[in-house]
Structure formats: C-alpha cells, structure tokens
Structure 1
C-alpha cells in the first residue's frame, strides 16, 4: 500500500511541479503548444473530412438502393479501361416492356421498374424551377428504389397504365414553387402540359455531394412518352430480396436479357449491367490515395511539433539541473524524475490538443459550408491519444537524461 501511495504522491507532485514550470515560462510553453496545435488541427481536419466523405458516400449508396442492378444501353464509365462510346451508341435502345418480361421470367428478382430521365422546367403560375430532373417511371419504382413519400401518395399502376397527368415532387422543387403554399392538389406545368401534384418525396440530399436528388419530379412513364416520344433512354432497375439472391440473379438477368434481345451464343451483350458496387470500388481506390497523402502530411506536422516539444524539454532540463540534483539528494528516485518531465511534456501536448480540437470544431463548421465534414467522439479521442503519445515519445529522451544525471554534478551546475 505504501508503494502505491508513493507512486500516486509522486505523480501528484510531478503534476504540481509541471504546472508551476509551465506557468513560469508562459511564452515558451505557448510557443511549444502552438506546434502541437498545428499538428492536431491537421489530424482532426483530415479525420473529420474523411468521416464526412464516408458518411456522405454511404448515404449516397443507400439512395441507389440495396441489392439492385441496373440494365441499360450505356455502361457506367467508371473503369480504368477505354470507354468505347462509338460502339455503345449503335446498340439497340432498351424498351419499357423488358421490365415486365424480366419480372415474369426471373426467379430471384423481387421487382423490376423502368425509368427514363431528362432535364425540364417546372412552372407554377409566374414561378418556375429550371434544370429539374424529370423522371418518367413505372409504378414499380417505389419497390426498386429507396425513395419514400413524405406527404400524399405515389401514382398507382392504373394511373401509370392510363398515362394520368400526376406528379410526385422533390423537396427542392416544392420549395422553389410553393414557398408559402401547400403543394398537394396544385397543378404545375411540365412540357406544356398540366400535372396534378399528388405526392411530396422525403428530403434525400445530394448524391456524392454533387447532384441534388431533391431537385426532381416523377411522372408516369406513359405520360412521359406522350410528351417526349417513345424513343427514350430507358433504365431497368432490378431489385433482389437479398445479397445472395442478387449474386445468383445477376447471371439470370443477363441470360434473360440475351434471350429477350435474341442474341446468338457467340454475340456479345448489346446492353450493360451496371452495379452500385462499381462506385464503391472507385471510392475505395480514391480514399486510399487520400488517406496516404493525409497521413503523410499530418505525420509531418506532428513530427515537427514533437521536435519542438523535445527541444523545449531539453532546455527545461538544462535550466533545472540544480533542481534535479536537489530532488535526488533528498531521496527522489530516477523513475520519479523521469515521470516528472514526461508529465510536463504530456501536459504541454494536451494543452495543444485542447486548443487544436476547439479550432478543429470551428474548421469543421467552415468546411461544412462548402463540402462535407463530420467530427465524432472517435476523432476527439484520437486527437488526445496522439497528444499523449507525442508527449511520451518526444519527451522521453530529455526526461531520461534528467533521470540519469549525476546528483553531485547537478548540484554543482551553475
């Protein structure tokens, strides 16, 4: 028990001596802590930005839907190989009827929808929303996407079949047209025709921080065809009940599409099966590069800060050589002297860490105005953990020199 008491008392004495020494040399302590502040701000800014990007990416992936594939004329240009657009351009167009044939022929798919998109202007009275994503879709899109209705309802299969002029609206479009009015039951103009607003989608945010998914409206595919004709760039979305069903179903859908398109066994596919996982692969390769650059820069900043701490601690040890000699002369052990200076170095780093985290909170708010960033408790814990490690690592050599100094030589030092 007496040994534990001595250790606790020694740590307490080390804390008091450290704070007294820091208070005596305020300017030097502040300048040293500034080096750590720069390093911690670098670390936390990198971490909050990457956390923000990760959260935005996962949210965007959920918008694409879980366990889905997209059958289209054009493949997504996400690969590193050559994009042969001149070949894809000559492919036959996809047809809306394929959705029904795939759903009937597939043993694994739970739902298949067809959709087509283009930009349009939506008007209400003297107000208008320009550059709106107009999507014509079959009723099954509610089962193949992660879209939810906040108010009202989605159009029915009967309304889709008869080409009713009804529209479901995104929040951004609603905000632009109905700032002070209730949108449901109002009529808007799209492509020169009037559409009744029957539903309002829940707010979705932006896709990968770029495209505003709330800036869209959805109308029945048949109504879309009446405005823009039947030659459309159609996308088929195939939804599976689970991951295992998707793995099996991808090959089945490919076979069904080849049969529908009447391709010979030796002919290549004249359609593309696009998967959201392609985005994830690209994202992972991109974040690997970001992590590498970020770790290098933050390590450099922390190394410079650590060198600053080490330098100041060597100065502190030299200035207090006689104090060290006196403490040893009255019975202080080498480990107590070591602990004293390690505690002092760690406190300097922790002070820098507190200031760095506070600055990082402000920086995170600023970044969020233009990009995405998210500060979690994990980031704060990481910052203080790094401060402790830097204090212990770069304070060890000066502390070790103080601990191993000869008490007689120390007492003679002037």
Structure 2
C-alpha cells in the first residue's frame, strides 16, 4: 500500500512542479516534441506507402509484363538512354503475333498514352491522361466500368469516336449530369462518352488515376499516330505461368525482331514489381533520415531533461531534507524525481503526437500518410525510456543526499 501511495504522491508532486514551471517544462521538452513528431511522421508516411502500394500495383494489373522500347529505369545502375533511344518502336502488329506464338499468355493488349485537354460545351479539363487502347485493356489493368460500357472490337476496327472516362474527369466536365451519350471534344474531334470507370484513387498517392480518358487505339492513331510510345501488355493467368511466360515472351520478341543469338535485346520487358524495389529504397531513405534526426532530437532533449532535473533537485534541496526527516525513504525520493522527468518527456510526447496528427492530415493531401495506434504507443514508450535514462542520475543524487545537509541548504 505504501508503494502505491508513494507513487501517487510522487506523481502529484511531479505534476505540481510542471504546473509551477510551465514555460520551463515546455522549453525543456521542445527537442522531445521534435523527436516524437519526426518518429510519428516517418511511421505514418511509410505506413501510408505500404497501404497504398498494393492498391497501386492492382492498377497496373496482376501477372503482367509490359513490352516497350524504353525500360522503366527502376532496376538500379546506369540508365543508358543513349542506347535505348536508337531502338525500334513497338508495332501494333506485335499484339497478334504474341497472341499466336505464346502458349502461356492469357491476354495481350496494346496502349499508347499522352496528356491532353478535354472540352465539353464551355468547360475544359486540362492535364487529362489519354489512353488509346484495345478493347481488352480494362481486363489487363484490373479496371471496371461503373456506368455504361467499354468499347468493343468492332468499334476499334471501324475507328469509332467513342470514349470511356474516369471519375475525376466526369466530375470536372459533367458535375451532376449523366455523361453517357454526351459528346466531348478531343484533339479537334468529337467523341461520344459510352462508359465511366469505377473510382480508382491516386497511384502511389501522387497521380490521380481517375483524371483519364480511354479511346479506341485506332481513333488515337488517326489523331496522334502510333509511330512511337506504344506499350504492349501481356498477362498470364497465374504466378507459375508468369515466370515461364516471361522467358517465353523474351524469345518471342527476339523472334519478331529477328535478332541473332549474339545480339542484345532491343526492347524492354517492364514489370510492376520494379516499383516494389523502388518503394523499399524510398522507405529505407525515409527511415534513415527520419530516425537519425529523431535520435539526435531525443538525445538533445534527454540531455536538456537531465540538466533541468539537476536544477530542480538543487532548487528543492531543502524540501528533500524535510521529506527525509519525516520518514521518506531514498527510493521514494528517487521515484518522485524520476516521475517528474518522465512527466516532462510525456508532455513532449503528447504535444509531439498531436503535432504529428495534424501534419499527417496535411501530408495525406499531397502524398500518403496514415497514423496508427502502434506508433502512438511507441512514441509514449520512447518518452518514458528517455525520462528514466536521463532522469535517473539527478534523481539518484537527490535520493542519496544527506538530510542534515539538505535542511541546512539555503
């Protein structure tokens, strides 16, 4: 019972000391606040990246290899752009050849992408992602139609001016109107909206994938041509066939390109998995910078706590003598000052977590950040550890002080 009463009394005295010296306590906790804010923000950003990653990868399709002129440049090492630029472009005829030659591919599509502006009556949407694609493009990308339909093969053969739009583009141009059947202007020509895509969200928290429009690749070619920038997507039914199909696809492309055995590939096989390596590198960089800065802040904050606790012990030397004179044990004095050090650190933790919460909301508007309960618990645990480590020596000195000398102190 005495132990509980001692802890309770020590905590009350600690809180009283904080209230008496509010400004000093907050200034002392400033570096703790910075450190806890940094730790929480780093965790929130990396957690948000992890949550967004799987969804973003689904936007690029499952078990898909993209055949292109240019590699994505995410595998590390030197990016030999001067060699890649001399490669031949992809050809739309490759789609049928890959489909005929491959034993593993379940789906083969072609697409070309660029930015454009779209007009509907007096409204204009800028910076829209335009895709000219084959009719099976949605299945390889894991996209679904929310309203209307996707264009069909016959419309591609006839070069029909039809379009499927994303949710952001729908809201920008049509607001509450039903866009189906409406005509929009693209590249100086009129297109009829036949479908609206399900909302996808942002790719890796950055690019708005709903600000897009998909048209038949034949219509795209009529306006912009298909001489460059063509991307061929090859999908496999499962992971096992994906691994085998990747090697088969390389052989098929070498055969199509008529490359000799000694010649290097003049094409790139790009896989969405490359983003995972890039993500891990980004996370490692964020963790390294964040935790170095956090560690320095907490170290400086801990030294500040130790310093202020020495000052507090000196200021209350007579109080320590009186408490010892009326029967307080050394461990009770030790506990009192440890609780005071911990309280200062926890004050910094509370303010730091609150600041991190506000910053997480702001960061999430432009990137991705999600705060979870575990990092809040971690933050308060760190505060307690810092308080114990850096508050122990001053508290120990107070506990071991001579009561007679303490009573004489002025």
State the partner residue of 2:120.
124
Q: Please tell me whether residue 158 in structure 1 is matched to residue 154 in structure 2.
A: yes
- CA separation in 1, counterparts of 2:339 and 2:103? 67
Give the secondary structure class of the aligned counterpart of 1:78.
coil
Kindly state the Cα deviation for residue 308 of structure 1 after the two structures are TM-superposed: 1.6
Q: Please tell me whether residue 16 in structure 1 is matched to residue 22 in structure 2.
A: no
State the partner residue of 1:88.
84
Segment drifting more, 133-142 vs 258-267: 258-267
- CA separation in 2, counterparts of 1:21 and 1:81? 58
State the partner residue of 2:59.
63
State the partner residue of 1:298.
294
Kindly state the Cα deviation for residue 160 of structure 1 after the two structures are TM-superposed: 3.1
- CA separation in 2, counterparts of 1:341 and 1:244? 63
State the partner residue of 1:361.
357
- CA separation in 2, counterparts of 1:132 and 1:150? 19
Give the secondary structure class of the aligned counterpart of 1:120.
strand
TM-score (norm. length: structure 1): 0.89
Kindly state the Cα deviation for residue 180 of structure 1 after the two structures are TM-superposed: 4.2
Distance 1:77 1:398, change over 3 A: same
Q: Deviations over 1:17-71 (max 9, x none)?
A: 2223333333433332334323323333333344344444444333223322111
- CA separation in 2, counterparts of 1:240 and 1:329? 82
- CA separation in 2, counterparts of 1:413 and 1:168? 84
Q: Deviations over 1:72-104 (max 9, x none)?
A: 122223354443334333323322232233234
Q: Please tell me whether residue 97 in structure 1 is matched to residue 93 in structure 2.
A: yes
- CA separation in 2, counterparts of 1:100 and 1:364? 48
Distance 1:318 1:159, change over 3 A: same
Q: Please tell me whether residue 190 in structure 1 is matched to residue 176 in structure 2.
A: no
State the partner residue of 1:181.
177
Q: Please tell me whether residue 34 in structure 1 is matched to residue 21 in structure 2.
A: no
Give the secondary structure class of the aligned counterpart of 1:273.
strand
Give the secondary structure class of the aligned counterpart of 2:29.
helix
Which ranges of structure 1 fall in alignment gaps of 5 or more residues? none
- Superposed, 1:7-406 pairs within 5 Å as 7-406=3-402
- CA separation in 2, counterparts of 1:42 and 1:90? 46
Kindly state the Cα deviation for residue 404 of structure 1 after the two structures are TM-superposed: 2.5
- CA separation in 1, counterparts of 2:23 and 2:73? 57
Kindly state the Cα deviation for residue 117 of structure 1 after the two structures are TM-superposed: 1.7
- CA separation in 1, counterparts of 2:395 and 2:224? 78
Kindly state the Cα deviation for residue 271 of structure 1 after the two structures are TM-superposed: 1.1
Distance 1:395 1:226, change over 3 A: same
Give the secondary structure class of the aligned counterpart of 1:390.
helix
- CA separation in 1, counterparts of 2:19 and 2:122? 68
| Contact residue 130 and residue 212 of structure 2 kept, 8 A | yes
Kindly state the Cα deviation for residue 340 of structure 1 after the two structures are TM-superposed: 1.7
Distance 1:230 1:18, change over 3 A: closer
| Contact residue 111 and residue 230 of structure 2 kept, 8 A | yes
- CA separation in 2, counterparts of 1:270 and 1:370? 38
Distance 1:91 1:22, change over 3 A: closer
Give the secondary structure class of the aligned counterpart of 1:184.
coil
Q: Deviations over 1:160-207 (max 9, x none)?
A: 344332210022322232134211111222233322211111233333
Segment drifting more, 35-44 vs 291-300: 35-44
The count of aligned residue pairs is 410
